[in-house]
Amino acid sequence: LNKGDVVLRAEGLRKTFGGLVATDDASFAVERGSITGMVGPNGAGKSTLFNLVSGFYTPDAGSVYVNDTEVTAQDPHEVAREGLIRTFQTPRKLEGMTVREAMMVGATPQAGESILPLFLSPSKVTAEERQNLDKAEELLERFEIAHLIDEPSTDLSGGQLKLVELARAITTDPDVLLLDEPVAGVNPTLANDIKRFIRELNEEGQTFLIIEHDMPFIMDLADPIIVLDQGRVLMEGTPEQVRTDERVIDAYLGG
Ligand code: ADP
Ligand code: MG
């Protein structure tokens, strides 16, 4: 890959928790414009790698680059400002907020609660934030959940919450969007919709790195696919290469 074609690069990432090595010498790159998949057995280190590249964990060794800018050990909001946004395996609790309010909290890159006081003084909403909220509402329409905008977010199903998370993330216009298990616990019909939305957004230029446990889903959606095993990158290839690789079969069967 040429320099400008890489939106995210991880080099030699290592993270230990006490005596446990969660990832070791993990290196990979995400090509601009791709839907890159990340798979591996439970405990392989997928979520840890997401936390390392998005600034939620500090690596013990190794480096992270977003658009060729080094972001190693920077805070999540600094990494977000460079263009990397991630969603969580379990959507964050949005108790007490309607969907609209939840979208507003997400209208600034990983700003978290800092924008909450704006609800009390709408006049302080900047033009940019207003624009982001409009964009978020458009995305909810596209995701076919616009009718839920004034509902308490706690009334949403797991799948609907995942769509709200996706809309919030897209609103910030990231260079690369990391999704951690976007269809975990989602019914097959909605999972198919989510696949279609991701594909459409990708056709419009959005780059994705997606962890997913559901093999048929990720094999159908992503190319290339990075396979992790025991904290290391076991291989990277097309879905067909991954499907037929002896090492991958062994890793899953050996569990
Ligand atoms: P995956 O997402 O591939 O299932 P994880 O990255 O969640 O795997 O976990 C990799 C390993 O690191 C597992 O053995 C897990 O128990 C351990 N681990 C992950 N996060 C922590 C943490 N915060 N504290 C202690 N151990 C952790
Ligand atoms: Mg995980």
Q: Which 3-state string (H, E, C) describes 23-65? A: EEEEEEEEECCCEEEEECCCCCCHHHHHHHHCCCCCCCEEEEE
Residues 6+ apart with CB under 8 A from 126: none
What ligand 1 atom has the least distance to the C-alpha of 51?
Answer: 6
Gap from CA of 44 to ligand 2 centroid (Å) = 8
Gap from CA of 8 to ligand 2 centroid (Å) = 19
Residue ranges of the chain with pLDDT lower than 70? 1, 3, 91-94, 105-125, 255
Residues 6+ apart with CB under 8 A from 209: 8, 30, 36, 38, 176, 177, 178, 179
Ligand (nearest to CA of 38): 1
User: Rounded distance, CA 108 to CA 131, Å?
Assistant: 11
What ligand 1 atom has the least distance to the C-alpha of 50?
Answer: 6
Q: Token digits for 76?
A: 């999540």
- Inter-CA distances, 43 with 21, 144, 175, 251, Å: 11, 34, 28, 12
Which candidate, 92, 25, 29, 79, places its Cα nearest to that of 51?
79
Q: How many Å separate Cα 63 from the centre of its chain?
A: 19
Gap from CA of 43 to ligand 1 centroid (Å) = 6
Residue whose CA is at the smallest distance from ligand 1 atom 19:
48
Ligand (nearest to CA of 42): 1
Which candidate, 44, 55, 57, 49, places its Cα nearest to that of 30?
49
Q: Cis peptide before 91, with omega less than 30 degrees from 0?
A: no
Helix 188-203 with 158-171: angle, nearest 10 deg: 10
Which of 21, 38, 46, 48 has the most ligand 1 atoms within 8 A of CB, as the residue to mutate?
Answer: 48
The domain defined by 1-83+174-255 carries CATH number 3.40.50.300: yes
User: Rounded distance, CA 149 to CA 63, Å?
Assistant: 40
Protein residues near ligand 2, an ion, with CB under 5 A: 46-47
Which residues sit with their C-beta closer than 6 Å to ligand 1?
Answer: 17, 20, 22, 40, 42-48
37-62 residue pLDDT tens: 999 999 999 999 999 999 999 999 99
H-helix segments, 106-254:
127-142, 158-171, 188-203, 215-221, 239-243, 246-254
- Inter-CA distances, 72 with 13, 26, 151, 207, Å: 10, 14, 39, 20
Q: What is the pLDDT of residue 124?
A: 61
The secondary structure element, H or E, covering residue 79 is helix 76-82
Q: What is the pLDDT of residue 224?
A: 98
Residue whose CA is at the smallest distance from ligand 1 atom 13:
43
Q: What is the pLDDT of residue 96?
A: 79
Paired sense of beta strands 61-66 and 6-17, if any? antiparallel
Q: What is the pLDDT of residue 117?
A: 45
Gap from CA of 113 to ligand 2 centroid (Å) = 25
Gap from CA of 89 to ligand 2 centroid (Å) = 7
User: Rounded distance, CA 166 to CA 162, Å?
Assistant: 6
Domain ranges of the chain: 1-83+174-255, 93-173
Gap from CA of 2 to ligand 1 centroid (Å) = 32
Residues 6+ apart with CB under 8 A from 70: 63, 64
Which candidate, 177, 247, 165, 164, places its Cα nearest to that of 206?
177
- Quote ipTM for the complex: 0.98
Paired sense of beta strands 232-237 and 225-229, if any? antiparallel
